[in-house]
Structure 1
């Protein structure tokens, strides 16, 4: 399946990169934690190489993410995992914090939509 001109390998690599960056990890950090060479991590993230199942398992363990979130984020069960994570993150926020977070999320979403429209 291709989406936005990317093949499945590139999409998964992009999701791995997003998960890594979201956890404030460098490629070198991920390589070390997953026991994979830095060039291989780079090639995986850019979709230039196929990865073995063993490498994928090491990556999801190093990133502490669900395999589903990297493979099929559009599956309803994965969407509910994201929703649950958002609920947990927001549970102890004050109304002022919630308002600020909502404004940030709206701006990020708007920026992402503009970028997609320009692609």
Structure 2
């Protein structure tokens, strides 16, 4: 069974909180949680409940998917939110250029079999 990576969740909470220029105290106030509890979530020392994660995501203006990203074994939307955020302020021309870069990179990875880790490549020999 895949364990939940609470440190990763905490890192995402801290990153979004800092992006919004919130202190831990402000986030605690807005979510009705103690500053200590927010701190413990951010360092992965406490396992927040689903209710706590919902409150935090609502205050930070993000989805639960964004907070939990990276915790699913097979997540079909891995990096989608990150890509969306990167492209949010791009012009249509920039978006097209980035799309072409991604498509070319994918083609090169597959053509050269670079999508496998070194261990996986050794196992296929």
Q: TM-score range by the shorter chain?
A: 0.5 to 0.7
TM-score, structure 2 as length reference: 0.60
1:35 counterpart = 2:39: no
* The structure with more helix, counted as a fraction of residues: 1
TM-score, structure 1 as length reference: 0.63
RMSD: 2.4
1:89 aligns with 89
* Structure 1 segments unaligned to the other structure (5+ residues): 93-119
The runs of 4+ residues in structure 1 deviating greater than 4 Å are: none
Correspondences of 1:32-71 after superposition (within 5 Å): 32-71=29-68
Q: Which of 9, 12, 17 is equivalent to 2:6?
A: 9
Larger Rg: 2
Cα 1:81–1:14 shift into 2, 3 Å = closer
> How far is 1:73 from its partner?
4.2
Indicate the structure whose relative CO is greater, using CA pairs within 8 Å and at least 6 residues apart.
2
* Structure 2 segments unaligned to the other structure (5+ residues): 93-125
> How far is 1:80 from its partner?
2.0
Cα 1:10–1:81 shift into 2, 3 Å = closer
- For 1:91 and 1:25, the matched residues in 2 are separated by 29
Q: Which of 10, 21, 25 is equivalent to 1:24?
A: 21
Q: 1:77-118: per-residue Cα shift (whole Å, max 9, x none)?
A: 2522222222222339xxxxxxxxxxxxxxxxxxxxxxxxxx
> How far is 1:45 from its partner?
0.7
SS at match of 2:47: coil
